[in-house]
Structure 1
Amino acid sequence: MTTTDSSPTTTAVPVDPRRWWALAAVATAQLMVGLDLTIMNIALPSAQRDLGFADADRQWVITAFALGYGGLLLVGGRLSEAMGRRRALLVGAAGFAVASVAGGLATDTWMLLAARAAQGAFGALMTPSVLATLSTSFPVAPERGKAFGVYGTVMGSSSGIGLVLGGLLTQYLDWRWCMFVNVVVAAIAIGLAAYAVRPVPPARRPLDVPGAVLASLGLLALVYGFARAETDGWRAGVTVGSLALGAVVLVAFVVVEARVPSPLLPLRVVRDRRRGGSYLAVLSLAVGIFAALFFLTFFLQDVRGWSPVRTGLGFLPFTVGLMAGVRFVSPRIGRSTAVLLLPSGLLVIAAGLGLLGALHPDSGYWTHVMPVFLLVGAGAGWVLVTANSTATLGAGPDTAVAGAMVMTSQQVGASLGTALLSTVAADAASSYLARHPASGLAGVVHGFGVASWSAAGMLVAMAAVVFLVLPRRAVRAA
């Protein structure tokens, strides 16, 4: 990788008087997307009983959203520039709300899956405009650090909020309200965006249709392959075929992008060492977050016997840790180099995963589980704020696509983490149960421990890689 973008100059930047309202608009819009990554997790058993789908189809309620979102983010980045960021934000939020209503009214499995995929597609249109609006509204430190701190807090805590809200709505109302609640959130986001987000002239350049097709097909195949690996195994024909197709198509995408005059993803975006290091850090972060949230959800509900609502409330220390990480790193945006902040944030998450690896069936919440939440949350806030700010800083006309690549990295990392660490946990649990047939849940917890240690080791290695990739010089805001 080479650093191709020059640092922003220190020329005067006009201040948008409504920029903080714009921050509220984009944070609310992204909160809606973040909520829907987890809000249906706790509602799945109720939805399954109501619609009558099989156990094997249950995961696709979650995966359909990930496919639509992760597979179309790059296309959404270019569409948001072609439409204008404000219009893309409004259309994305409105479409997300309509898809949510359709999901809440679902009468069969396919209707629910189609609605979830549509949510992901409209989210993929909305997120790049969110990040581009945020980056251009706050070009100057220290306001940039504060704004990305707020955004990072919302984005990082949305998973925990989704679990709490999903438990409350499912337990006291109905699982369908986990979909209907998006209408309220979307209405707030649309009202704020219409008032505060400044219109930006659409980019007048042709859409890279071959690149759009190849990027979407490659990412869809990759995410689908990871999902099939979780259920069918890594050696299954559909898994190998999907992953191979994804790899081949993405290689073809890179070749096309190097040749077309107006590429969907200019290769200078990912060749820039600041952005490349940020993408690697976010991909690694997603693997670590998956390990902590997924394993601890199982531990609290199935091992400790906690209710869905109590489990959701038990995730609150994750949000507290995330806010602490954001508070620490936000003032340092623009003063410290990403080469110091991103690797150290990954190491904080790795420390939390190492502690998670020592979990056993009798571990206490306050003495063992809560410290894991605090460490992983702090590292998540640390990395998210730094990576989002660094990846979009100085991207100019490519800001939306640069931001889309952050979320694409996160989605690929989450899918990879789901498939890889679930396999490690299952294999370790099987080996343990073969040696200790009467151990019961202890074997499952042991499997999660081995997978957590594996994730911790991976994050330590990736912290070293990110350190080597990132440039050593400071990159300051204008």
Structure 2
Amino acid sequence: MHVHVVSSDVTITDTSPASTVGAPTTKSAPAEQTWTPRLWGVLAVLCAVLFLDGLDVSMVGVALPSIGAELGLSTTSLQWIVNGYVLGYGGLLLLGGRTADLLGRRKVFIIALAVFAVASLIGGLVNNGALLIATRFIKGLAAAFTAPTALSILTTTFQEGPARNRALSVFSVFGASGYSSGLILGGLLTGIGWRWTFLTPVPLALIALVAGLALIPKDRPAAGGGHDIVGAVTLTGGMLLAVYAVVSAPERGWLDPVTLGLVALAVALLGAFFVAENKVRHPLIRLGILRIGSIVRANLSIIALFGSYLSFQFMMTLYLQDVLHWSPLKMALALLPAGLVVAVGSPFVGHLINRFGTPRLIISALTSLSLGYAWFLVTAGNTPNYLVTVLPTMVLLGGGFAFGFSSIMAQATEGIDDSEQGLASGLVHTSAQVGAALVLAVVTVLVADGTAAGSENFAEFHPGVNLVSVVAVVGLLLNLVPLLRRYRPKHA
């Protein structure tokens, strides 16, 4: 079911698949949707699920030391509580998004959310480290279906243009709020018992499940999808092996024979997938989507945004706790301003996209991130001043995330037919997760020696901060060059 609108002349964002996607233009188009209570209800359900994703990841991250102490897990085993989730999430995102297109978004969303709730409940009750890691992997699998499906439900429910941009702005607020709230809530709940960080999402997921059943309209699967078994097997196997190779490389070594073997096998499977997609009648993924310049730039931009942002926050947790000896709660409060800036700024991004277009907003976002990393690198030390160093950095990063997330998501799904919204959503989420895992893996290698040796010198973090700065600047240049070419003076 789709929302019906009345025709009128309004200003909207051009969504043609040309290089000018996201540039503001004026043309005749349907009027902006009327936001009915049911429409708000659908958005609330989608936002609640994104909030849960952020809440779960950050709460568990804060609780890791307590989990390790109670269950007797080594540091090597403990990392898989995080990486198990990343493995399931990053490995199945593309399949999850396309499955929603082929089987029906509402059906896939509801089933995956139910699995997420059950896995959360089991994770809070088990007393075995291996079982706990298994529940995290299952939750990652569930999130691999809920995340792209939620975005595709949003982009097919809200009309492309001002309505969708506004919805994406609200959507991004809840993602950032979930992560920042999870840091604080995780610190509080861990003091009571780490199991509460797993059990707390259960009632929230059940409420979202019931509301989703009542509010999300039924939709029909994409016509003529067929069953691409070879594509599904090679894609899933290739992505799982690729993500596993990335997240296990810091522990095993990048040049270890097992790591190299995993990478080679992943490349072979993904190569077989691309060959199969060009031959089957009903491919799992239409490869032509990868030839749209604006969508390719959006996927590269989300790698720069997520890869640098999450890796920097990882280093900040080590820096604030190991170098400055701050408590988990104090550290969470120090990082909170970034989440607050996102929560305050994101609602305005939809209007800015309508006025300036996605390319300019993405450039502004990556500029803000680059300045934040540079400022921290220049001003931080072993005894930094919070107001001079940490607070300005968090404000710049929060501004970059606020401008960047909604703009990138809008550009990644613009001009795409409803039958492929799940594919486009899965693609950009995969880029975010796999890109972030790759950057974080390299950052971990760069800072591991110094932190493992118990060093309390900020200089040990310089290589990692330098890397995230380079990642952000490269993303900025990838977006800046096409925009400058568009406005280059024409010679006679």
TM-score normalised by L of structure 1: 0.90
**Residue 127 of structure 1, CA deviation:** 1.2
Cα deviations across residues 111-130 of structure 1 (Å, max 9, x unaligned)? Answer: 11111111011111111220
Which residue number in structure 2 is paired with residue 392 of structure 1?
A: 413
For residues 441 and 67 of structure 1, what CA distance do their matches in structure 2 show?
32
Say whether 1:10 aligns with 2:12.
Answer: no
Which deviates more from structure 2 when the two are superposed, residues 269-278 or residues 21-30? 269-278
Relative to structure 1, the CA distance from residue 471 to residue 97 in structure 2 (aligned partners, 3 Å threshold; closer, same or farther) is farther
Which deviates more from structure 2 when the two are superposed, residues 254-263 or residues 289-298? 254-263
- Structure 1: which amino acid aligns with 2:157? S
Relative to structure 1, the CA distance from residue 270 to residue 161 in structure 2 (aligned partners, 3 Å threshold; closer, same or farther) is farther
**Residue 330 of structure 1, CA deviation:** 2.2
CA contact (8 A) 1:42 1:308 kept: yes
2:254 is paired with a residue of what secondary structure? coil
**Residue 334 of structure 1, CA deviation:** 3.1
CA RMSD, Structure 1 to Structure 2 (Å) = 2.5
Which residue number in structure 2 is paired with residue 283 of structure 1?
A: 303
- Structure 1: which amino acid aligns with 2:394? F
Say whether 1:420 aligns with 2:433.
Answer: no
For residues 51 and 67 of structure 1, what CA distance do their matches in structure 2 show?
22
**Residue 96 of structure 1, CA deviation:** 0.2
For residues 383 and 261 of structure 1, what CA distance do their matches in structure 2 show?
37
For residues 243 and 21 of structure 1, what CA distance do their matches in structure 2 show?
44
CA contact (8 A) 1:269 1:398 kept: no
2:310 is paired with a residue of what secondary structure? helix
Say whether 1:363 aligns with 2:384.
Answer: yes
For residues 365 and 124 of structure 2, what CA distance do their matches in structure 1 show?
38
Which residue number in structure 2 is paired with residue 466 of structure 1?
A: 479
Which residue number in structure 1 is paired with residue 156 of structure 2?
A: 136
**Residue 274 of structure 1, CA deviation:** 1.6
CA contact (8 A) 1:338 1:470 kept: no
Which residue number in structure 1 is paired with residue 468 of structure 2?
A: 455
For residues 232 and 100 of structure 1, what CA distance do their matches in structure 2 show?
29
1:263 is paired with a residue of what secondary structure? coil
Relative to structure 1, the CA distance from residue 453 to residue 328 in structure 2 (aligned partners, 3 Å threshold; closer, same or farther) is farther
1:53 is paired with a residue of what secondary structure? coil
CA contact (8 A) 1:77 1:401 kept: yes
CA contact (8 A) 1:29 1:186 kept: yes
Q: 2:134 aligns with which of 85, 90, 114?
A: 114
Relative to structure 1, the CA distance from residue 105 to residue 220 in structure 2 (aligned partners, 3 Å threshold; closer, same or farther) is same
**Residue 16 of structure 1, CA deviation:** 6.6
Which residue number in structure 2 is paired with residue 330 of structure 1?
A: 350
Q: 2:117 aligns with which of 82, 85, 97?
A: 97
**Residue 3 of structure 1, CA deviation:** 3.9
Say whether 1:160 aligns with 2:180.
Answer: yes
For residues 9 and 97 of structure 1, what CA distance do their matches in structure 2 show?
45
For residues 276 and 32 of structure 2, what CA distance do their matches in structure 1 show?
36
Say whether 1:78 aligns with 2:91.
Answer: no
- Structure 2: which amino acid aligns with 1:124? A
Cα deviations across residues 152-172 of structure 1 (Å, max 9, x unaligned)? Answer: 12223432222222111111x
Which residue number in structure 1 is paired with residue 490 of structure 2?
A: none
Say whether 1:409 aligns with 2:431.
Answer: yes
Cα deviations across residues 62-119 of structure 1 (Å, max 9, x unaligned)? Answer: 0000011110111111222233212222111111000111111112111111111110
For residues 85 and 406 of structure 1, what CA distance do their matches in structure 2 show?
17
Cα deviations across residues 176-201 of structure 1 (Å, max 9, x unaligned)? Answer: 11111111220221133223211111
TM-score normalised by L of structure 2: 0.88
Relative to structure 1, the CA distance from residue 472 to residue 115 in structure 2 (aligned partners, 3 Å threshold; closer, same or farther) is farther
2:354 is paired with a residue of what secondary structure? coil
**Residue 402 of structure 1, CA deviation:** 0.4
Q: Which runs of 5+ in 2 are unaligned?
A: 1-15, 22-26, 488-492
For residues 311 and 134 of structure 1, what CA distance do their matches in structure 2 show?
34
Which residue number in structure 2 is paired with residue 436 of structure 1?
A: none
**Residue 324 of structure 1, CA deviation:** 4.7
Say whether 1:441 aligns with 2:463.
Answer: no
**Residue 55 of structure 1, CA deviation:** 2.1
2:161 is paired with a residue of what secondary structure? coil
Q: Which runs of 5+ in 1 are unaligned?
A: 434-438
**Residue 28 of structure 1, CA deviation:** 0.3
**Residue 220 of structure 1, CA deviation:** 1.4
Relative to structure 1, the CA distance from residue 4 to residue 457 in structure 2 (aligned partners, 3 Å threshold; closer, same or farther) is closer
Q: 2:329 aligns with which of 309, 331, 348?
A: 309
Q: 2:246 aligns with which of 226, 230, 247?
A: 226
- Structure 2: which amino acid aligns with 1:371? P
For residues 11 and 5 of structure 1, what CA distance do their matches in structure 2 show?
23
**Residue 13 of structure 1, CA deviation:** 7.8
CA contact (8 A) 1:283 1:409 kept: yes
Which deviates more from structure 2 when the two are superposed, residues 208-217 or residues 71-80? 208-217
2:218 is paired with a residue of what secondary structure? coil
Relative to structure 1, the CA distance from residue 428 to residue 463 in structure 2 (aligned partners, 3 Å threshold; closer, same or farther) is farther
CA contact (8 A) 2:373 2:468 kept: yes
Say whether 1:372 aligns with 2:418.
Answer: no
For residues 304 and 187 of structure 1, what CA distance do their matches in structure 2 show?
40
Say whether 1:382 aligns with 2:420.
Answer: no
For residues 129 and 264 of structure 1, what CA distance do their matches in structure 2 show?
16
Q: 1:348 aligns with which of 340, 345, 368?
A: 368
1:10 is paired with a residue of what secondary structure? strand
